[in-house]
Structure 1
Amino acid sequence: MALDWEKIAEAKRQAILDSIPQKWRLDKIPSAEEQKDVTDGYIRQFLNSKESEITETDIGGLAKQIAAGNWTSLEVTEAFCHRASIAHQLVNCVHEFFFDAAIESAKALDAYFAKHKKTIGLLHGVPISLKDQLHVKGAETTMGYVGWIDTFEGNRDDPRKGTFESEIVRELRNLGAVFYCKTSCPQTLMSGETFNNIIEYTWNPKNRFLCSGGSSGGEGALIRLKGSPGGLGTDIAGSVRMPAAFSGTYGIKPTWDRLPYRGIATSMDGQNSILSSVGTMATTAAGAKLLVQAILSQQPWLYDPRVVDMPWRDTLEAETKELTKVTSKGPLVFGVLKTDGVVNPQPPVARAISILTAALIKAGHKVVEWTPPANSHQAMMAAIVNSWRYDGGKDVHDALALSGEKIHPQIQRLFGTSPTEQFNGTQIAANNIERRRLQTEYMDYWNSTIEVTGTGRPVDGFICPVAPYAAARPQKYKYYGYSAFVNVLNYTSVNVPVTLADQNIDKYDPGYTPLNELDRATVEDYDAELYDGAHVGLQIVGRSYTEEKMLVIAEYVSELLSQDNA
Structure 2
Amino acid sequence: MSSTGDASWQTLAAAKREAILASIPAKWRLDKIPTVDEQRNVAGAYIEQFLSPKEVEITKADSVGIVEKTTSGAWSAVEVAEAFCHRASLSHQLVNCLHEMFFDAALADAKDLDAWFAEHGKPKGPLHGLPVSLKDQFHVRGVDTTMGYVGWIGTFQGQRADPRRQTLESEMVRELRALGAVLYCKTAVPHTLMCGETVNNIVGYAWNPANRHLSCGGSSGGEGALIALGGSPGGFGTDIGGSIRIPSAFNGLFGLRPTSGRLPYEGMANSMDGQNSVLSVVGPLASSAGGVKLLTKSILSAEPWLHDPLVVEIPWRADLEAQTKDRIATSQLSIGFLDHDGGVGPHPPLKRALALLRNLVARSGNKVFDWQPPAKSHEAVTDLIMKTWTYDGGADVRKDFALSGEPWAPQLLDVWKERPQADASAIAATNRALRERRKEYLDYWNGTSADVFVAPCAPFTAVRPGKYDYIGYSSFVNALDLPSVVVPITTVDKGVDVVDAGFRPVSELDKKIQGDYDPEIYDGAPVSLQIIGRRYQEEKLLAIAEWLEGELKKPAGTS
Q: Superposed, which structure 2 residues align to 1:18-417 within 5 Å?
A: 18-326=22-330, 330-416=331-417
Q: 1:460 aligns with which of 431, 451, 457?
A: 451
Inter-partner Cα distance in structure 2 for 1:436 and 1:25 = 52
Contact 1:140 1:162 in 2 (8 A): no
Contact 1:58 1:284 in 2 (8 A): yes
Q: Aligned AA for 1:428?
A: I
Q: Aligned AA for 1:406?
A: P
Inter-partner Cα distance in structure 1 for 2:102 and 2:500 = 50
Q: 1:542 aligns with which of 511, 533, 541?
A: 533
Count of residue correspondences:
552
Q: How far apart are 1:285 and its partner, in Å?
A: 0.3
3-state SS of 1:432 partner: helix
Q: How far apart are 1:508 and its partner, in Å?
A: 2.9
Q: Aligned AA for 1:563?
A: K
Q: How far apart are 1:361 and its partner, in Å?
A: 0.9
Inter-partner Cα distance in structure 2 for 1:482 and 1:414 = 19
Contact 1:216 1:233 in 2 (8 A): yes
Q: How far apart are 1:564 and its partner, in Å?
A: 4.4
Distance 1:357 1:63, change over 3 A: same
Contact 1:280 1:292 in 2 (8 A): yes
Q: Aligned AA for 1:553?
A: I
- Residue identity over aligned pairs, in percent, reads 56
Q: How far apart are 1:410 and its partner, in Å?
A: 1.8
Inter-partner Cα distance in structure 2 for 1:195 and 1:3 = 22
Inter-partner Cα distance in structure 1 for 2:501 and 2:299 = 50
Inter-partner Cα distance in structure 1 for 2:10 and 2:333 = 54
Aligned to 1:491: 482
Q: Aligned AA for 2:232?
A: S
Q: How far apart are 1:408 and its partner, in Å?
A: 1.2
* Structure 1 unaligned residues grouped into runs of 5+: 450-457
Distance 1:486 1:412, change over 3 A: closer
Inter-partner Cα distance in structure 2 for 1:498 and 1:314 = 26
Q: How far apart are 1:507 and its partner, in Å?
A: 2.0
Contact 2:210 2:251 in 1 (8 A): yes
Q: How far apart are 1:66 and its partner, in Å?
A: 1.0
Q: Aligned AA for 1:346?
A: H
Contact 1:335 1:462 in 2 (8 A): yes
1:138-184 superposed Cα distances (whole Å, 9 cap, x missing partner) = 21100000000000001012220122100001001000000000000
Distance 1:373 1:84, change over 3 A: same
Q: How far apart are 1:294 and its partner, in Å?
A: 0.0
3-state SS of 1:264 partner: coil
Inter-partner Cα distance in structure 2 for 1:365 and 1:460 = 11
Aligned to 2:551: 560
Inter-partner Cα distance in structure 1 for 2:367 and 2:504 = 31
Aligned to 2:491: 500
3-state SS of 1:170 partner: helix
Q: Aligned AA for 2:314?
A: M
Inter-partner Cα distance in structure 2 for 1:512 and 1:242 = 25
Q: Aligned AA for 1:443?
A: L
**Is it true that 1:445 corresponds to 2:441 in the alignment?**
no
Q: How far apart are 1:3 and its partner, in Å?
A: 7.6
Name the TM-score, length of structure 2 as normaliser: 0.98
Q: How far apart are 1:420 and its partner, in Å?
A: 1.4
Q: Aligned AA for 1:371?
A: Q
Q: Aligned AA for 1:281?
A: L
3-state SS of 1:410 partner: coil
Q: How far apart are 1:362 and its partner, in Å?
A: 1.1
1:107-127 superposed Cα distances (whole Å, 9 cap, x missing partner) = 000001011110110001110
Inter-partner Cα distance in structure 1 for 2:423 and 2:414 = 22
Q: 1:8 aligns with which of 12, 15, 23?
A: 12
Contact 2:499 2:518 in 1 (8 A): no
1:7-65 superposed Cα distances (whole Å, 9 cap, x missing partner) = 10011011000000000000000011110001111011000000000001111111110
Aligned to 2:3: none
3-state SS of 2:455 partner: strand
Aligned to 1:453: none
3-state SS of 1:442 partner: helix
Name the TM-score, length of structure 1 as normaliser: 0.96
1:227-249 superposed Cα distances (whole Å, 9 cap, x missing partner) = 00000000001100000000001
Inter-partner Cα distance in structure 1 for 2:456 and 2:103 = 37
Inter-partner Cα distance in structure 2 for 1:473 and 1:73 = 39
Inter-partner Cα distance in structure 1 for 2:191 and 2:498 = 34
Inter-partner Cα distance in structure 2 for 1:241 and 1:16 = 27
Q: How far apart are 1:346 and its partner, in Å?
A: 0.5
Contact 2:499 2:519 in 1 (8 A): no
3-state SS of 2:408 partner: coil
Inter-partner Cα distance in structure 2 for 1:42 and 1:223 = 15
Inter-partner Cα distance in structure 1 for 2:500 and 2:135 = 40
Contact 2:156 2:165 in 1 (8 A): yes
Inter-partner Cα distance in structure 1 for 2:555 and 2:377 = 35
1:180-209 superposed Cα distances (whole Å, 9 cap, x missing partner) = 000000010000100000000000000000
Q: How far apart are 1:411 and its partner, in Å?
A: 1.5
Inter-partner Cα distance in structure 1 for 2:394 and 2:25 = 40
Inter-partner Cα distance in structure 1 for 2:328 and 2:187 = 35
Inter-partner Cα distance in structure 2 for 1:564 and 1:366 = 23
Q: How far apart are 1:515 and its partner, in Å?
A: 1.2
Q: How far apart are 1:412 and its partner, in Å?
A: 4.5
Once the two structures are overlaid, the 10-residue window that deviates more, 433-442 or 154-163, is 154-163
Once the two structures are overlaid, the 10-residue window that deviates more, 264-273 or 556-565, is 556-565
Q: How far apart are 1:331 and its partner, in Å?
A: 1.9
Contact 1:359 1:564 in 2 (8 A): no
